[in-house]
């Protein structure tokens, strides 16, 4: 069963242009610990808004702040930790069985999410009490 210790910030390769024209980063199969089956992104989230508020039974995710910043509060049912994502060459690996909430979005923040599987509503815990019951079985 996943816990906070299974989460990690992973560096994404960054190639800087020697002529000062910007940077390029990429994600390939050896960067994150799962095969990507779905990609989506969050944007235009109000600064006082929040996203997430759920956990997955099987799905793994990798979150990247493509622009701006936001906090990811993770909870394994016993402990909590906050990660601030604010660099497009760093991402947060969240394995299954971890509750997550996202808040404190800066203006213009864009969160890219790489997921290990296709959308399946039955994979979600959307009720925190049910999540805690599952974790303590």
Tell me which of 33-37, 48-52, 88-92, 121-125 is least confident. Answer: 48-52
Q: How many domains is the chain built from?
A: 1
| Domain enclosing residue 117, as ranges | 4-135
The CATH number linked to 63 is 2.60.120.10
pLDDT in tens, 12-40: 999 998 998 999 999 988 899 999 999 99
**pTM listed for this prediction:** 0.92
Catalytic residue list contains 54: yes
Q: Which residues contact 87 (CB under 8 A, 6 or more apart)?
A: 65
First to last CA, the chain: 11
Q: 27, 51, 54, 87: which is the annotated catalytic residue?
A: 54
The answer to whether 47 and 104 have CB atoms below 8 angstroms apart is yes
Rounded average pLDDT over 60-89: 96
């Amino acid at each position: 069963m996943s816990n906070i210790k299974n989460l990690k910030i992973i560096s994404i390769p960054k190639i800087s242009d020697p002529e000062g024209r910007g940077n390029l980063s990429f994600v390939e199969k050896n960067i994150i610990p799962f095969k990507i089956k779905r990609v989506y992104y969050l944007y235009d989230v109000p600064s006082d808004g929040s996203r997430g508020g759920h956990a997955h039974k099987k799905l793994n995710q990798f979150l990247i702040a493509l622009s701006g910043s936001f906090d990811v509060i993770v909870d394994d049912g016993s402990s909590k930790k906050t990660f601030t994502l604010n660099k497009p060459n760093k991402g947060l690996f969240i394995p299954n069985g971890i509750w997550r909430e996202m808040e404190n979005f800066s203006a213009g923040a864009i969160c890219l999410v790489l997921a290990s599987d296709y959308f399946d509503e039955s994979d979600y815990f959307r009720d925190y009490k049910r999540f805690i019951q599952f974790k303590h079985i």
